[in-house]
Homo-oligomer: A and B are copies of this chain.
Amino acid sequence: MLQVSQRVHYGLRAMTELAKAYGNGPVSLAEIAEAERLPAGYLEQLAMPLRRAGLIEGRRGLHGGYELAVPPADVTVGAVVRALDGAVAPVVCLTVEYVPGSCERDPVCLSRSVWKRVKDSVDRVLDSITLAELCTTSCAEPAVTFIPPEQIQRLGAKDPCSIAG
């Protein structure tokens, strides 16, 4: 449960690439797509909201591309995911659009506080991590020691880097 969208997953990966390249001039979407094995066309759609949120800047023409609009240390993961998928909101009564009281169950709702606490908890985590931090602490907890090749082969079809099933 609580799967993250490909949109956010891809978008964050793309942003880490830009963070790694920060200061070395723009990186093209094609390069990012190649490095992170992302569909280039789809990636293009993710660039737009990120740009409009002021997180990245685009340079057109040859040797153009994207670069972070601010240093990696000033970009939180929370800002990235909010730009792509909006604010964390497990239920609609925790969105900004929600007009308080419009849900008839509001006065007797026992579950709302649960999702509020979940939201606050997630927000705290996401807003406490910057792209700079991600790039330095990179492989603090690698998930693997040794992988039998046949085991890898067996997984074949399904991309293990996609969202959770």
Contacts and interface: CB of A to CB of B under 8 A. Distances in A.
Contacts of A86: 1
A1 B12 contact: no
Contacts of A140: 113
A24 interface: no
A141 B129 contact: no
A62 interface: no
Interface string A105-140: 111111111111111011011100100001101111
B16 A110 contact: yes
A121 B121 CA distance: 6
A125 to B, nearest CB: 5
Given A8-B1, A121-B121, A155-B99, A141 B113 contact: yes
Contact of A4 (B91, B100, B155): B91
Interface of A: 1-5, 8-9, 12-13, 16, 36-37, 77, 81-82, 84-95, 97-119, 121-122, 124-126, 129, 134-135, 137-147, 151-152, 155, 159-165
Given A99-B160, A110-B135, A116-B141, 14 more contacts: A1-B81, A2-B88, A9-B91, A9-B111, A91-B164, A92-B164, A94-B164, A95-B164, A100-B145, A103-B143, A103-B159, A106-B144, A113-B134, A121-B124
